[in-house]
Chains A and B, each alone.
Chain A
């Protein structure tokens, strides 16, 4: 059974293109609406698996308003990819972002990401169950503990790696990125570049060959692209 998707977008040309692309990827488009009221009615009626939601709805209401009333998963579509909008959008906890102007591959990878996260949360994935890995980091000669689910991404530098945490802090370890990633792989981490590994649960969106975390854009290395794609096709 194919996944049901609702499109909320006020520009008829863009919504038409979006629906063509989404259908060609094998999903079912259960509706195209252009304002807040119709969006909520359509969600009631069709019960979609995912809503693609434009933030700037000129035809009435705003994507943020819809988002705050939705009980089904959604992702944001926007051409405002600046810090202010992003920071605000983050509060609504979308499953991904699609940034205009988009290409087919952007739609494909962001939908995959959204469904990957949805399924992880429904508890089917081993990554979501069990305790997060505890790591011990040495700093100023003292060892202290951190949880793997607090980590956003890892950056490798020569023989050490830097852990970038959700709260903005950083920790350095004398372990290589390769070893660190192997250790964290069962907990939803994946190598995406020569010098980067990310926690998939913390990914906000894909665009071209870039991954977006909360406040950081991380490049996807050519050699790791197939690895990343394989991870999503497992779904």
Chain B
């Protein structure tokens, strides 16, 4: 059930918004006004359905008066969408069929195609997949003939939904890939984001989890590269849900955090709301405080989405009231003239009626006014609180920036001292020891520098961090015939773990590069970091000469350093000779 709902949601997104967009293309000069009204209605239909419906009904009147049949077709389709959104499928199909007949009579191919797509969507909602397929196929044929890639992308994506429900996964995948291709061609990125998320869902359903994750990755990359941040939010949210289902909490957390930042940036409230909900799920059973916090955030965002809608409804009510008042006035004039005609006979009754009506209007307006004022006041309190929070956040950020700046300068100074001292030393072994230490300091500095370049100021992304670190060691200790293979999982780790792990790997890797291979030897070094349950398992092995741990214990500073760092992390380290050095490091992630 869970999967089915998420699939559907995406389709409605594609289907509605694209419909609105397509409206703007056909715009005969003489009906510009009604057309732009309809376009507006299409735009706001998802957020403010009732206002849109009002506009549509007004347009219907005008269209009927002017005999503008094209506008009437659009009115009927939009009305169909309105009822579809209210889940009144009988009404929706009636309006769509009406529109379809008219469009056929006037031979408006594009309109026929769009309406067929909408009918397909209604039947999809009704679980009547045979019918749905029939209409989608017809829409597809028409759009194919018109070479309208934008609509082809939407319809392919929708049609894929039908095949997904019919368990024909191969065909669904094929269609989704097609939808992505068309979407890219047409620049229809909303459809692309939906298709990627759906594709990943199909993969997941088939148990092809790796491919699902890969598809999500691709989708995010693609949407990021074209700057469609809302699309990225939608896809990230889905990815987070999947990662949570796979019980990869860390990744889910990171994904949702990313989604949150982005959604807030583009003010996509629905994504924020959903992201908090997933976050609450992720923390459930693990950390009930955090879970509660996220749940609260979810509810408050839901409230803000909801209260905006409420506000709209009240405004709507007020508008209706204004109209009612005008009608009252007209009535009053009528009454007055009638009264003049009739000789005082019904006068008393009329007056009392009138007074009653006026009283009613006054009471109503007071009630509504109070409601509005209350709403306004609570909104303004919320606003000032938000401002306060933002201010203190900005202050905190400034302080952090200043501290980071000082930390970086201090690192540079320590490195400078060691370099200058090394340079003034006459003894070669002292010189090289000092330069080694300078290298260690620089490795720590690099870790810190990374931290401040990323969004999260407490955590470091392990994969790119280790990759960079390995490259730096390679540059300092160049060896032409040694291949280094790095396989690290993407994972955010705490700065303390990152600094220590970075130093340990720098030591071990430098050791392998320097001592395991002779100058003309060729060989390989491999580094892998994996997460197993609650520990990080980190292995470094080389195909070089190997060494005996016990023999070198006394003098080797590097090994001593590794031991104390491992101790600091409460981990364990073991060394073996397996056709070369083999180091295994276990670090608990608490």
Contact = CB atoms under 8 A, between A and B. Distances in A.
Contacts of B475: 105
A16 B187 contact: no
B423 A101 contact: no
Instruction: Say whether chain B's binding surface is mostly helix, strand, loop, or mixed.
Output: helix
Nearest to B452: A81
Among A14, A80, A219: residue with most chain B CB under 10 A: A14
B408 A162 contact: no
A185 B406 CA distance: 41
Contact of B442 (A103, A157, A162, A217): A103
B225 A162 contact: yes
Nearest to A139: B187
Contact of A157 (B221, B411, B446, B452): B221
A100 B417 CA distance: 15
Interface stretch (B69-77, B155-163, B464-472, B517-525): B464-472
* Chain B CB within 10 A, most for which of A79, A81, A105: A79
Contact of B412 (A80, A102, A140, A160): A102
Contact of B415 (A79, A101, A157, A208): A101
B413 A11 contact: yes
State the majority secondary structure of interface residues on A: mixed
A140 B187 contact: yes
Contacts of B476: 105
Contacts of B449: 81, 99, 101
B225 A79 contact: no
Contacts of A140: 187
Contacts of A230: none
Given A101-B412, A101-B415, A172-B226, A209 B471 contact: yes
Given A162-B226, A209-B471, A20 B446 contact: no
Nearest to B464: A219
Interface string B456-491: 000000001001100110011000000000000000
Given A101-B408, A172-B184, A208 B468 contact: yes
A228 to B, nearest CB: 12
A58 to B, nearest CB: 11
B420 A13 contact: yes
Contacts of B297: none
A4 interface: no
A226 B442 CA distance: 23
Given A13-B417, A13-B420, A219-B464, A100 B408 contact: yes
Contact of A208 (B218, B401, B472): B472
Interface in A218-235: 219, 222, 225
A156 B484 CA distance: 25
Interface in B432-458: 442, 445-446, 449, 452-453
A155 B445 CA distance: 30
A57 B439 CA distance: 27
Given A13-B417, A208-B471, A100 B442 contact: no
Nearest to B442: A103
Interface string A166-183: 000010100000000000
B339 interface: no
B416 interface: yes
Contacts of B464: 219
Interface string B204-246: 0000000000000010011001110000000000000000000
Interface string A91-109: 0000000011111010000
Given A11-B413, A79-B405, A99-B449, 17 more contacts: A11-B412, A13-B416, A14-B412, A14-B413, A20-B420, A21-B419, A79-B408, A100-B408, A101-B445, A102-B412, A103-B446, A105-B476, A157-B222, A170-B227, A172-B226, A208-B446, A217-B453
7 smallest CB-CB distances across A and B, nearest first, come from A17-B416, A101-B445, A13-B416, A101-B412, A101-B411, A79-B408, A17-B419
23 contacts: A11-B412, A11-B413, A13-B416, A14-B412, A14-B416, A16-B416, A17-B416, A20-B419, A79-B412, A80-B405, A81-B452, A99-B449, A101-B442, A101-B449, A103-B442, A103-B446, A105-B476, A155-B225, A157-B218, A158-B218, A208-B468, A209-B467, A217-B453
